């Protein structure tokens, strides 16, 4: 399964495992894949601790980091993240705060105990103000071999800085035009994510998007994302010219995943048709399980979602209350996941998932060889 990118990064399989959970990243990298830790859910201080622990656990294996910097950021990127967070938080209309609280109350989700803050009260996600600090910290960790940006190419000075440090820069995209733009902005690796993927996602399906992007940015390496749940899909991506695959949903139901048991139960029970692209988490279309939270924000009573990062600050209360009261929040928990959720049937260890993907890939290649008479 060795592609040029595997050789460049020193990994056994061209499988990139994105997760917000450190233990998943550790196990994926130790199993020969390439774990990528999502930074967006951590304050800079928390993130620094996560990377220290990751280094201790991962040994000499390489791994990557993913930050979230939108192409059109809010003004104030130069400010201290906490100052900017307070300003933005104070600008959220009462109507939106009240609506979120009403949706949670109607499902019987208790308020957080007195004095306990929700995430929006201490963390500013999805802005350069926070993400620049994440990058700064990542650059102090030698095992970090790649830094990706969820929403395209990082700002030019960051692209320069990351490359000058000897690391690779990746950017996610959902259509060919974006891919071209990222390539022109100096991104080393394009992650082409089809609409079926979990998290922020565009409208074009993987089967159409991958070859389109691969052709357009050639010879830049492309990682195929969106809808990878087994090794046959990896074989399809590699046969189309991808240098590897970038996966997210697959790791949510692993033993190591830090989702609550209730979330894992919901994911294991869901079918592929149970996801929806909803703006209710961040203000940008994000694929997640359809439930009372997503329906409420789409309903006639909804005040409409706010743009990034304001909606994130509104949804943060739901995320924190759902973590505190998982059982009571089962109908309104925000569960980003892709359509591949319909193929997730059991809790498996991360390393077993990696091994199974590799075996299935080899079976698929053998099948192709049989069909083409190369056996």
Ligand X SMILES: Cc1cc2nc3c(=O)[nH]c(=O)nc-3n(C[C@H](O)[C@H](O)[C@H](O)COP(=O)(O)O)c2cc1C
Nearer to ligand X, 301 or 346 (CB): 346
Nearest residue by C-beta to ligand X? 248
Provide the minimum distance between the beta carbon of 199 and ligand X in the complex, in angstroms, as a whole number. 3
Nearer to ligand X, 150 or 214 (CB): 150
Strands 286-289, 199-200: parallel, antiparallel or unpaired by DSSP? antiparallel
Q: Residues with Cβ < 8 Å from 225, sequence gap 6 or more?
A: 172, 191, 192, 193, 194, 197, 206, 245, 246, 247, 248
Provide the minimum distance between the beta carbon of 193 and ligand X in the complex, in angstroms, as a whole number. 5
Nearer to ligand X, 357 or 365 (CB): 357
Nearer to ligand X, 197 or 211 (CB): 197
304 conformational bin, left if phi > 0, alpha if psi -120 to 50, beta if neither: left
CA angle 29, 31, 36 (to 5 degrees): 25
Nearer to ligand X, 187 or 225 (CB): 225
Provide the minimum distance between the beta carbon of 102 and ligand X in the complex, in angstroms, as a whole number. 25
Strand order across the beta sheet in which 286-289 lies? 199-200, 286-289, 275-278
Provide the minimum distance between the beta carbon of 67 and ligand X in the complex, in angstroms, as a whole number. 8
Provide the minimum distance between the beta carbon of 75 and ligand X in the complex, in angstroms, as a whole number. 22
CA angle 60, 66, 69 (to 5 degrees): 150
Q: Name the strand (E) or helix (H) holding 289.
A: strand 286-289
Provide the minimum distance between the beta carbon of 333 and ligand X in the complex, in angstroms, as a whole number. 12
Nearer to ligand X, 120 or 227 (CB): 227
Interface residues toward ligand X, by CB under 6 A = 18, 38, 40, 66, 68, 148, 150, 172, 193, 196-199, 225-228, 246-250, 336-338, 340
Any idea of the CA torsion for 121, 123, 126, 132, to the nearest 10 degrees?
Answer: 140
Q: Residues with Cβ < 8 Å from 106, sequence gap 6 or more?
A: 292
* Of 116, 156, 145, 181, residue with least CA distance to 37: 145
Any idea of the CA torsion for 222, 223, 227, 232, to the nearest 10 degrees?
Answer: 100
Nearer to ligand X, 19 or 305 (CB): 19
Provide the minimum distance between the beta carbon of 319 and ligand X in the complex, in angstroms, as a whole number. 11
CA angle 73, 74, 80 (to 5 degrees): 105
């Amino acid at each position: 399964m060795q592609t040029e990118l595997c050789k460049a990064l020193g990994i056994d399989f061209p499988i990139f495992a994105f997760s917000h959970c450190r233990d998943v990243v550790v196990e994926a990298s130790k199993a020969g894949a390439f774990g990528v830790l999502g930074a967006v859910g951590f304050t800079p201080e928390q993130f620094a601790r996560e990377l220290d622990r990751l280094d201790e656990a991962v040994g000499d294996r390489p791994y990557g980091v993913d930050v979230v910097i939108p192409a059109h950021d809010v003004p104030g990127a130069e400010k201290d993240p906490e100052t900017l967070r307070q300003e933005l938080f104070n600008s959220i209309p009462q109507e939106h705060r009240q609506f979120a609280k009403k949706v949670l109350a109607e499902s019987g989700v208790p308020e957080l105990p007195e004095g306990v803050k929700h995430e929006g009260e201490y963390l500013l996600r999805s802005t350069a103000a926070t993400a620049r600090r994440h990058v700064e910290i990542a650059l102090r960790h030698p095992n970090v071999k790649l830094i990706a940006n969820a929403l395209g190419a990082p700002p030019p000075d960051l692209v320069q800085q990351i490359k000058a440090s000897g690391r690779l820069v990746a950017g996610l995209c959902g259509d060919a035009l974006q891919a071209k733009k990222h390539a022109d902005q100096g991104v080393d690796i394009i992650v082409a994510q089809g609409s079926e993927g979990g998290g922020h996602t565009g409208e074009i399906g993987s089967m159409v998007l991958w070859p389109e992007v691969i052709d357009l940015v050639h010879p830049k390496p492309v990682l195929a994302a969106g809808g990878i749940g087994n090794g046959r899909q990896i074989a399809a991506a590699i046969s189309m010219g991808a240098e590897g695959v970038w996966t997210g949903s697959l790791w949510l139901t692993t033993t190591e995943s830090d989702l609550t048991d209730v979330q894992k139960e919901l994911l294991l029970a869901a079918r592929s048709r149970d996801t929806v692209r909803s703006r209710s988490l961040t203000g940008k279309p994000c694929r997640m399980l359809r439930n009372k939270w997503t329906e409420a924000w789409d309903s006639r009573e909804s005040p409409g979602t706010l743009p990034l990062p304001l909606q994130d600050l509104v949804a943060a209360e739901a995320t924190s209350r759902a973590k505190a009261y998982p059982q009571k929040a089962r109908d309104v928990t925000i569960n980003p996941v892709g359509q591949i959720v319909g193929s997730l049937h059991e809790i498996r260890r991360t390393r077993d998932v990696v091994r199974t993907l590799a075996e299935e890939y080899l079976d698929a290649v053998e099948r192709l060889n049989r069909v083409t008479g190369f056996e």
